[in-house]
Each structure stands twice: as C-alpha cells, then as structure tokens.
Amino acid sequence: MTSLPASTEKKLGLVIDLDICVGCHACVVNCKEWNTGGYGAPLGDIDAYGSNPSGAWLNRIHTFEITPEDAPAQIVHFPKSCLHCDDAPCVTVCPTGASYKRSEDGIVLVDEDMCIGCGLCAWACPYGAREMDPVENVMKKCTLCVDRIYNENLEEVDRVPACVRTCPAEARHFGDFADPQSDVSKMVKERRGIDLMPEMETNPINKYLPPRPKSAPTNDKRPRNVETDSSPAPGSFLDWVDRMLEKI
C-alpha cells in the first residue's frame, strides 16, 4: 500500500463559492478540454454523440433545489472534484503505488503507468471523485492542472487550474492553504468556509463557501447588502450536503 507524506510544504487547493456558482458548466467543459490534451492519457469517451454516451470527467456539477426552514427555496449548484485530502484514503489503499500525494505541494496524483485499474481508490474515496477511463482502463482524477500551474511558458495569469481560469462568475479560487495570508485562506476565514463531509476525517484541502440564505420577497426596493447577510450555520448546511450526496 502507498504511504502518505507526514507533512507537505504547501497545501494547494480550491475554494468554491456556492453562493455565486451559476451552474454554467464552463469549468467542467474546460477541464475536459485541457486534460484531454494535457497531462497523462486523454480523457476517453465512448459513443460521445450517440444515444448512450459515456466517458471520464474530472469535474462535475450537481444542481439541487433546497428549502431552508426560515428562507425561500433556492437553487444551489454544487461542483465536485477531487479534494486532495491530507488523509487521502484513495492513496493508502492503492496496491501498486500508482496513487500518491506529493510532499512539495499536497497534490494527489495517479501514475497511469503503474495503475492496474483495480478501482480500489474509487471505492475508498467518500466523495466519488475518481473515475475509470472507459478507453484507457486507468483511474482518472483532478490534478489541479499540475501541468499548468508550474508551466513558465504560460502567462502568469494562466498558471491556475483550467476550471479557475474559465469560471465567468469567479466562483472558483486557487491558492496555498498553508499560507494564512493567501487569498484562499482569508476567504475561508471570512466566510466560514467548510470541509465536505468532515465526519469522514479525510481533512480535504478544497473548501466550500456556503450559500447565503435568500430573503423573502418584500415591497422594500432598497438593494440587498450581501456583505452583511449572515451565512447559514455550517452544521446545518453540511447536514444538507450529506443528504444530497447520498442521493447521487
């Protein structure tokens, strides 16, 4: 089995703001495009334009309608990909060492030359973030676009994951969570960012900013000050996330 590093120099990951994600799937499409032509083997598709298409996607968006007890019903778009966990069970269960976590930046990757397609990592991941490529028969997952973020041939503005670069609503942010002064660290502190399914004790690096509750319609025409609106209690939102994930 594969061992995890005792610590990592950086903790690179994403902050995803559920309050402003519009569910446009731009991040999903650009992720597919970049990773098909970039790091590792292309993301395979079968019968892509037929009646029963299938394929590997590293980023997916699930959309839910929720009805809080004290607020109107609202739509929440929930992006989901690998969370690059500190205590990643997908790594420790791998029998060949194909799945590994980098000590320099905390990114979890798959060495496709060593992957035997056993699927144990997919079973171990509580978030359903790994997918078997139907063509290559190897496991695929988000790489945080490791071939972009260190590529000095790209302009500095492009040295972020493809999903972050393409998001029109700027709902996705990339940075180092080991640095308390980084933008992502400040966002999580200010907006009470949360771990997905903390009861699994995987210590995910990626964080979610919970959606702010929507106000009931009134005759008051004054603009709503979203900066002063209170966020829902993290516990109640996580309970909702757990219930939704059980249905996926």
pLDDT band for 231, please (50, 70, 90 cuts).
very low
Q: Are 92 and 16 in contact (CB under 8 A)?
A: no
Residue type, 222: R
Flag whether 180 is in a domain: yes
pLDDT in tens, 7-32: 999 999 999 999 999 999 999 999 99
Q: Pick 228 or 106 by higher pLDDT.
A: 106
Tell me the β-bridge partners of 60.
80
pLDDT in tens, 159-187: 999 999 999 999 999 999 999 999 999 99
Q: What is the pLDDT of residue 48?
A: 81
In sequence order, which residues have a C-beta less than 8 Å from that of residue 103 and are 6 or more positions away? 5, 7, 8, 9
Q: Which domain holds residue 122?
A: 12-247
Flag whether 4 is in a domain: no
160-164, 187-191, 212-216 — which is least confidently predicted?
212-216
Flag whether 49 is in a domain: yes
pLDDT in tens, 128-159: 999 999 888 999 999 999 999 999 999 999 99
Mean pLDDT along residues 77-98: 96
Q: Where are the alpha helices (DSSP H) in the chain?
A: 26-37, 89-92, 120-124, 146-149, 162-166, 183-191, 234-247
Flag whether 148 is in a domain: yes
Q: Share the mean pLDDT of the chain.
A: 86
C-beta atoms surrounding 72 within 10 Å: 11
Flag whether 23 is in a domain: yes
pLDDT in tens, 50-63: 888 888 889 999 99
pLDDT band for 227, please (50, 70, 90 cuts).
very low
Give the CATH number of the domain where residue 38 resides.
Answer: 3.30.70.20
Flag whether 7 is in a domain: no
pLDDT exceeds 70 at position 234: no
Q: Look up residue 93 and give its DSSP letter.
A: T
pTM of the model: 0.82
- Cα gap 133→97, rounded to integer Å: 18
Mean pLDDT along residues 76-96: 95
Flag whether 175 is in a domain: yes
Flag whether 120 is in a domain: yes
Count of structural domains within the chain? 1
Distances (CA, A) of 62 to 121, 122, 127, 241, 247: 22, 19, 13, 11, 11
Distances (CA, A) of 85 to 16, 167, 170: 15, 23, 23
- Cα gap 209→68, rounded to integer Å: 17
